[in-house]
Amino acid sequence: MPIPTTFLDTCRARVTATAEYAAFVAAGALADTATRTDRDAQYGALYAGGDSLAHRLRRAVRAVVNAEADKAGASAGTIITAGERESSYATLVSQYAPAVAKPAPAADELSAFLAAAQEDQL
C-alpha cells in the first residue's frame, strides 16, 4: 500500500522545524562557500562519524516518522506498517540528508584540472 501523501507532508513539516535540520542546512551553506582547505573540515562536521550533523538529522527524521506513524495509528486509525515507516524514512532522508561523497583531495583536483587544461590546449 502506498504511503499516504498527507503522512509524508506532515513528516516533512515536522522535520524542517527541527533544530537538527536548521543546523545541517546552516553547516551545508558554510560548506558550499568554504575554501578548499575548509571544505574537508566542513565535510567532516556534516558527514563524518557517528555524531555528525547528517547523522543527527537522520535520527531526527527517524523519530519524526515513528512519532507521526504512532499518532496516525492512535488518532485516525490509519496504520502505518513497519515497511511504510522504513520507506518514509528513506524518502525523507534522501530529501533532507542524502549521502554525499567526500571531496576529492586537493592534489587529485589539481591533477584533473591540469589534465583537462592540457586536453583543451590540444
pLDDT (tens digit per residue) in 55-112:
999 999 999 999 999 887 776 667 888 889 999 999 999 999 988 777 777 777 778 8
How many separate domains does the chain show? 1
Cα-only R_g, the chain: 19
Q: Is 46 exposed, middle or buried (0-12, 13-18, 19+ CB in 10 A)?
A: buried
Whole-structure pTM value: 0.79
Distances (CA, A) of 85 to 79, 82, 96: 10, 5, 16
- Check pLDDT > 60 for residue 1: no
Containing domain of residue 45, as a range?
5-121
pLDDT the model gives residue 42: 82
pLDDT (tens digit per residue) in 30-70:
887 878 778 777 888 888 877 899 999 999 999 999 999 98
- Check pLDDT > 70 for residue 113: yes
DSSP states along 4-60? PHHHHHHHHHHHHTSHHHHHHHHHHHHHHH--HHHHHHHHHHHHSSTTSHHHHHHHH
Written as one letter, the residue type at 58 is: R
Q: Count helices and strands (H / E) in the chain.
A: 6, 0
Average pLDDT, the chain: 86
